[in-house]
Amino acid sequence: MRQFFGMSQSGNLAEAVRGMDRPQFIMLLSNQAQFEAHVKNLEELYPGIPSIGCIGMSYQDRIVESGVSVIAFSDGVAAAANVLEEVSTVPVKYIERLERDLSKAGGSERDTVCIDFCSGNDACALSTIYSVLGPRKISLVGGTGEAGLVSANGVVYQDAVAYAIVRNLHGRVKTYKENIYHPLGDYRFIASNTDRANYILGSLNGKPAKQVYQSILHVTDQQILTQTFKNPFGKINGDDTCIISIKEVNGNALACFRQVNDSDVLILLELGDFKAITEETIRRISHDFPTRSAVFSVNCLFRYKLFTEHNYMQEYLKKMSALGSHAGLVGYGEHYNNRFVNQSMTCVVFE
Amino acid sequence: MFFLKKGKKKPKQAQHSGSRLYPVLHVIDSLNDYKKDLIQKEVESLWALNSVETSFSGVLSEADHFQTHLQDLGNSFSNISQAAGRFADVRKAISDTVSEAQDKVAELKSTSMEVEKSYSEMEHTFEKLQSAVRDIQQCMGRIVSIADQTNILAINASIEAARAGQEGKGFAVVAVKVRELAEQIKDLTSEVDVGIHNVQSGASQLSGSIQASQEALGHSLDTVNSTYETFHKITAAADGASSVQDEISGVISDSNHALQLIYQFFHSIQKRYQEVVKHIEHAKKLGTTKSCMFEDIDNMMSQIPIIVKEADADQR
Length of chain B: 316
Neighbours of A214 (CB within 10 A): 17
A-chain residue closest to B283, CA distance: A238
Position B297 confidence tier, pLDDT thresholds 50, 70, 90: confident
A243 or B33, greater pLDDT: A243
Nearest chain B residue to A186 by CA distance is: B54
**A294-300/A326-331 β-pairing:** parallel
Report the gap between the CA of B273 and the closest CA in chain A (Å): 19
Amino acid A298: pLDDT: 96
Residue of A nearest to B289 (CA): A237
**pLDDT-derived band of residue B161, with 50, 70 and 90 as boundaries?**
confident
Q: How far is CA B226 from CA A181, B113, B213, in A?
A: 85, 16, 19
Whether the CB of B14 is below 8 Å from some CB of chain A: the reply is no
Residue B6 lies in a domain: no
- Helix/strand/coil percent split, chain A, to 5: 30, 40, 30
Q: How far is A14 from chain B (nearest CA, A)?
A: 41
pLDDT in tens, chain A (351 residues): 999 999 999 999 999 999 999 999 999 999 999 999 999 999 999 999 999 999 999 999 999 999 999 999 999 999 999 999 999 999 999 999 999 999 988 889 999 999 999 998 898 999 999 999 999 999 999 999 998 999 999 999 999 999 999 999 999 999 999 999 999 998 989 998 999 888 999 999 999 999 999 999 999 998 998 899 899 999 998 888 989 999 999 999 999 988 898 888 999 999 999 999 999 999 999 999 999 999 999 999 999 999 999 999 999 999 999 998 999 999 999 999 988 888 899 999 999
Sequence-distant (≥ 6) Cβ neighbours of residue B249 within 8 angstroms: B81, B84, B85
pLDDT of residue B15: 52
> Is B290 in the A-facing interface, judged by CB distances under 8 Å?
yes
Is residue B14 very low, low, confident or very high in pLDDT (cuts 50, 70, 90)? very low
Q: How far apart are CA A25 and CA A135, in angstroms?
A: 25
Distance of CA A114 to the CA centre of its chain: 12
Please tell me the distance in Å from A221's CA to the nearest CA on chain B: 28
Chain A residues with CB under 8 Å of B28 CB are none
The answer to whether position B32 is within a domain reads yes
Conformational region of residue A107, where left means phi above 0, alpha means psi within -120 to 50, and beta covers everything else: beta
Looking at residue B13, what is its pLDDT? 45
Reported ipTM: the value is: 0.86
Residue of chain B minimizing CA distance to A91? B303
Answer yes or no: is B184 within a domain: yes
Angstrom distance (rounded) from CA B308 to CA A38: 37
Distances in Å between the alpha carbon of B65 and those of A312, B68, B70? 46, 5, 9
- Domain limits at B80? 19-240+276-309
| Contact assignment for A128 to B46 by CB distance below 8 Å | no
Among residues of chain B, what percentage have pLDDT more than 70?
94
CA B310/CA B312 separation, integer angstroms = 5
Judge whether B9 lies within some domain. Answer: no
Is the CB of A265 less than 8 angstroms away from the CB of B284?
yes
Q: Between chains, do B300 and A263 touch, taking CB under 8 Å as contact?
A: no
Write down the pLDDT at residue B112: 82
Give the angle A50-A52-A55 at the CA atoms, nearest 5°: 155
Model confidence band, residue B2 (pLDDT cutoffs 50, 70, 90): very low
B295·A262 Cβ contact <8 A: no
Count structural domains, chain B.
1
Choose among A190, A235, A237: nearest Cβ to B46: A190
B35 close to A (CB below 8 A) = no
In chain A, residues with a C-beta closer than 8 Å to the C-beta of B310 are: 90
Residue A153 phi, psi dihedral angles, 5° rounding: 50, 45
Residues B79-120 have pLDDT tens digits of: 877 777 777 777 788 888 888 888 888 888 888 888 888 888
- Which residues of A lie closer than 8 Å to B, measured between beta carbons? 89-93, 121, 123-124, 126-128, 130-131, 188, 190, 192, 196-197, 235-239, 259, 261-265, 338-339
CB–CB contact B296 A338 (8 Å): yes
Please tell me the predicted confidence (pLDDT) of residue B289: 82
- Please give the Cα distance from A212 to B223 (Å, whole number): 89
B255 located within any domain: no
Secondary structure of chain B as H, E, C letters: CCCCCHHHHHHHHHHHCCCCCHHHHHHHHHHHHHHHHHHHHHHHHHHHHHHHHHHHHHHHHHHHHHHHHHHHHHHHHHHHHHHHHHHHHHHHHHHHHHHHHHHHHHHHHHHHHHHHHHHHHHHHHHHHHHHHHHHHHHHHHHHHHHHHHHHHHHHHHHHHHHHHHHHHHHHHHHHHHHHHHHHHHHHHHHHHHHHHHHHHHHHHHHHHHHHHHHHHHHHHHHHHHHHHHHHHHHHHHHHHHHHHHHHHHHHHHHHHHHHHHHHHHHHHHHHHHHHHHHHHHHHHHHHHHHHHHHHHHHHHHCCHHHHHHHHHHHHC
Nearest to A245 by CA among A158, A305, A187: A305
CATH of residue B111's domain is 1.10.287.950
B271 lies in some domain: no
Closest Cα to residue A178, out of A51, A313, A274, A292?
A: A274
Residue B87 distance to chain A (closest CA, Å)? 51
Backbone angles phi, psi at A225, to 5 degrees: -65, -30
Tell whether B247 is covered by a domain.
no
Distance from CA of A92 to the nearest CA of B (A): 7
The chain B residue lying nearest A125, using CA atoms, is B299
B261 is a domain residue: no
More confident residue, A126 or B188: A126
CA distances from A218 to A267, A292, A303 (A): 17, 46, 23
SS (H, E, C) B120-132: HHHHHHHHHHHHH
* Single-letter residue type at A343: Q
Residue B43 to chain A, least CA–CA distance (Å): 5
Closest residue in B to A235 (Cα–Cα): B288
Q: Do B295 and A123 form a contact (C-beta atoms < 8 A)?
A: yes
B166 to chain A, any CB pair closer than 8 A? The answer is no
Cβ distance of A237 and B42 shorter than 8 Å: no
